[in-house]
Amino acid sequence: MTRKKALKWNGHEVFYQIFPETFAIGGGADIHSKAAKGFYPPDAILRAWNELPSGDTESREFWGGDLAGVAEKLDYIAGLGADTILLTSVFDSPSNHRYNARDYRKIAPGLGTLDDFDWLIDSAHAKGIKIVFDIVLNHFSSDHPWFREALADQNSKYRDYFRFHDGGYDCWQGHPSVPEWNLSNPAVRDELYRGKDSVLVFWLARGIDGIRLDCANDLGTGICGEICSIVKEFDPDVRVYGEVFPYAAPFAEVLDGVQSYFLTGAIDSYLLDEIGTGDFLRALGRVWNGFPSRKLFQSLTITGSHDIPRAMTRYGSDNERVMLAIALQFTLPGTPVIYYGEEAGMTGSYDPVNRTPMMWEKADAPEGFAGFYRKMAALREVRREWREGDLTVMSVDDGCALFFRSTDEPGEFSLVAVNPGHEKKAFRAHIPYPYLYDSIKLKDLLTGRELSTRMGYADIEIGGKEACIWVPEPDYIRNYHFYKKNELK
């Protein structure tokens, strides 16, 4: 096939993560019409779109979502303010999550074909939407033909592609159905990502804009760095992200960015009153001071994913706390990710109920968060300090988190306060910023309330379970400008 080019990244991105099996079915099909064509394993459990998973079926339940369904919803995704899609794994696999690949060069039949994948890329690019592709290079399916041969024949040339021992073989977190590759074997690395005909090159040539390395912590920083270098040689515009659950600064050093749950956990703990404001702000400081700033801006900031309970479940169906989490997600350093269905207020604990079918009838319901996501995405587009500004954390003793985002352009800043408690708070904040001139008027982007500064401080009032984002209104005095642009000639 003709090699395709990735789109350019501009730092304005908002991601939308999709679990393809349960997002949308394209072409007017349904699970039964697709099953009649033999698209699913013989032991598949077929579910109607409104059915919930049973939870004890080892990912053998299928609902019929596919790549055509994703392509048909591109305008919907763009309408939320997102311009980048993060696809979870789509490889041929016996499971509905496809993280145990049986054939790395084939799309799972229930999701479509390579032609469908190419059509999705082309359709997305035509609308300016990027596609980031989840690739699983640490482990695979025990149904993979190389593994089956190696298991049956100790003399197989593939035997040392895996790590066999007296107790069996290495497998991901002890699951025998998900063996791990022996990545110490150069031949394995050549097959997966180093060779000119590797799995990685096969997908890069199709025009994907980025890859997310699943279980990057299992791969290690050495292999992650090697993969990133190879990708850049192929196409410098392709981004490489790594999934790392804990604090991930060392991985950010060797990748373009990370998807870490460290910040997500800190936000949760703070908003649920499991840690104090000081601990939360110290966690923010560790992230800001520990990451290369550009890599931090490119890293993915999440409120939900297919691996953790949905935000509405974690926050006990408390809409106000969910909105606080979203406000922090968009105003803190990083690239925000909307997990499909979060905008509809969907609930669900751990896998599989956090991967249930998209509730399209609630996609834009007033009780959901679609409108708030649109608002925050539109603000991120025009607030450069959110996308690439410095972070200054300021401790507040009464439970409110306060931080400041600013660029090197005088007057380009946001003062962000979050109050997760039930009671209204009032306090004075001294802000170490040289362009917070006396009598500057600040306006809250969320409520419209205004305040004025004095001698580098602001007297702040914030309601219970409320977020405020104050930005300057520098030209409110007639014939006077706070931020002059005098030129030396």
Q: Provide, for the chain, the percentages of residues in helix, strand and coil under a 3-state DSSP scheme, each rounded to the nearest 5.
A: 35, 20, 45
Cβ atoms within 10 Å of 316's Cβ, excluding its own: 10
Task: For residue 363, give the nearest of 77, 37, 99 by alpha carbon.
Answer: 77
Q: Is 35 helix (H, G, I), strand (E, B) or coil?
A: helix
Q: Which residue has the higher pLDDT, 368 or 242?
A: 242
Give the pair of three-digit tokens for residue 96. 């509905």
CA proximity to 393, closest of 418, 356, 361, 420: 418
Query: Which pLDDT band, with edges at 50, 70 and 90, does 397 fall under?
Result: low
Tell which residue, 75, 62, 100, has the closest CA to residue 215: 100
Q: Which residue type sits at 236? A: P
Residue 451 near residue 426, CB atoms below 8 Å: no
* 243 part of the active site: yes
Report pLDDT digits (tens) over 42-90. Answer: 999 999 999 998 876 778 999 999 999 999 999 999 999 999 999 999 9
pTM here is 0.96
The per-residue pLDDT for range 321-357, each reduced to its tens digit, is 999 999 999 999 999 999 999 999 999 999 999 999 9
Helix, strand or coil, per DSSP, at residue 84: strand
| Bridge pairing between strands 335-339 and 441-444 | unpaired
In this predicted structure, what is the pLDDT of residue 398? 73
Q: Which long-range contacts (CB under 8 A, 24 or more apart) does 261-267 make?
A: 261/302, 261/308, 262/287, 263/287, 263/301, 263/332, 263/334, 264/301, 264/302, 264/303, 264/308, 267/303, 267/325, 267/328, 267/329
Report the percent of the chain where pLDDT is more than 90: 90
The pLDDT > 70 percentage for the chain reads: 98
Respond yes or no: is residue 423 known to be catalytic: no
**Catalytic hit among 214, 268, 343, 466:** 214
Helix (H, G, I), strand (E, B) or coil at 107: strand
- Tell me the domains of the chain and their CATH numbers: 15-386 (3.20.20.80), 389-473 (2.60.40.1180)
Exactly one of 61, 243, 256, 342 is catalytic; name it: 243
